[in-house]
Amino acid sequence: MTVGTGVAAYQFLYPRQRMNEFGGKFYLGAASDMPPVGSEPQANVYGKFWLANAEKGLRAFYEICTHPWRNNPHKYRWDSARNLFRCPLCGSKFSLEGHYIEGPAPRSLDQFEIEIGVGRATVAVTTHVGDKIEPPIVPSAEAEIVVDTGMLIEGLPKGDSPLLNRYQG
């Protein structure tokens, strides 16, 4: 009985997110299996993120717009005709890199941390340094890509966006 109580207490006090469930880690496979640089982002329905491979690297954007529309979260979508993310509810626009372009959103897109693994070691992660969120550097095509939906990085304020007032389109 004591052992059973101890096991139950352990499971209660140390909950674990299952793999490939929102709030946990999503194992996407080898870097060679990722979409090519500049291609349209891919939606991951279970992870609630968009995976984008832009010029600077892989990013996993949380699918919820950063504009709090009457405390009712809403999803943005990829607009392939304009090559940008666009929220159908508030009209905010964001680049493939997640940078704020225009609209009522207060900041750029929120991102999940991406981990790059080689063997059993994590060799790189998404970093937030000053006014930049840097994607991890992928050392080889065999490196494993993991998106941690339990580690949200809030988007930078729209005033820090390099595209503010410069977008043509």
Q: Give me the pLDDT at residue 1, please.
A: 66
Q: Give me the pLDDT at residue 129, please.
A: 85
- Residue by residue, pLDDT tens for the chain (169 residues) are 665 555 555 555 554 556 667 889 999 999 999 999 989 999 999 999 999 999 899 999 999 999 987 777 889 999 999 999 999 999 999 999 999 999 999 999 999 999 999 998 999 999 998 888 999 999 999 999 999 999 999 999 998 888 876 654 4
One-letter identity of residue 76: Y
How do the domains of the chain map onto residue ranges? 17-160
Q: Which CATH number describes the domain made up of 17-160?
A: 2.102.10.10
Taking a C-beta distance cutoff of 8 angstroms, is the pair 46, 20 a contact? yes
**Which residues have a Cβ under 8 Å from the Cβ of 35 and sit 6 or more positions away?**
41, 42, 51, 52, 53
Q: Give me the pLDDT at residue 168, please.
A: 45
